Structure 1
Amino acid sequence: MTDSIKQRQGNGRLQDEMAALVARVAKGDRDAFANLFAYYAPRLKSFMLRRVADADTAEELVQETMLTVWNKAASFSPAKGSATAWIYTIARNLRIDRLRRQPAQTFYDVDDYDEPSAEPTGEERLIQNEREAQIADAIEALPKDQLDVISLSYVDDLSQAEIAERLDVPLGTVKSRMRLAYQKLRESLGGRM
């Protein structure tokens, strides 16, 4: 017999034993409950620690789970699934209920404190992307002569005198095109420039 078949048969036997323990707990057998607790409590705690941030909450949820097992053992039906699945379903549901009741804010231990991330939040990124799209649309709406002056100034980092020389236009023309471009951008962006 291969190891995996032995393991599955052993697991089936284990589940039969656990189902029998739950049936005994339903009749008020404290020893059966102690055996269930000894087997499942560390496994449930590990399960909770992987899904809940702190050990205290995980421990509380294990206690609540096992108390629920004690109180509702009579409702367990081996025909509907294994004792392990039933117990873990109770644990999962209690964890979800706890998360729903918790306030949205997160508290940190002083030892675990990290400076707030310089990375923008999703909302800040969305606002920034919308703002950039508005600016891009406003820039694209500029007449070509004004767009050229703005591009040479900001993209190529040229001074107004260098722009006048490159475009072969008077310096005053460059200045008036820039002023007009800024005025149109300010109007397009609602005065936020």
Structure 2
Amino acid sequence: MSDTTALTWLDGRDVPAERLYGAADETAALIARCLSGEEAAYIALYDLHSGMVYRLAYSLLQSQQDAEEVLQDSFEYAFRRLDRFDARKSAFKTWLYRITVSRCRNKRRRKWLPSFSLNGDESPDYEQRHSDQEPLPDERAMLNEQQRAVWSAVRDLSPKLREVAILRYYGGLAYAEIGEVLEIPPKTAESRMRLAHKALRERLSGLVE
């Protein structure tokens, strides 16, 4: 399986460079306006990045309701701490992703830890599966059989491997950025990605060349 083609539908790296740089400039301007007390700027900043945050949360949690709660919680926290964001240390997207991943972990922990049973899964934080673990309704019709199989395989990864795979494939982040989001060394992020890719190849053997 190619490292990019099978998950093209999740890949954020297809965004033209001019859009990425334009969004960064717009974000910086909006943050400055927010810090000056302009309420409309908060709304604009939310509108600019909420789709990205929601998709990340949904990809990790596989629940529309949970993703919506994480979306609101993440922005509430980010807006309260906006004066602490330092563009010299990280991109706003990376900072926002780190907040979102943290809240996804909290959501998953609260939801599953009390009911966890020792049933032979690979680790205590292995996430139980649900029937609603599938792409958003507006995307299902756009996925072919191979893409649906790939999504299912990503969904079945352990939480730690899924986080890296989603950030790499969907977020289009470099390993240094993934390490920053997950607060792990870049080499650890790369190692987890190798494990995730190996697991995906095994699950998709015979379907994806």
TM-score (norm 2): 0.44
Larger C-alpha radius of gyration, 1 or 2?
1
Q: RCO higher in 1 or 2 (8 Å CA, sep ≥ 6)?
A: 2
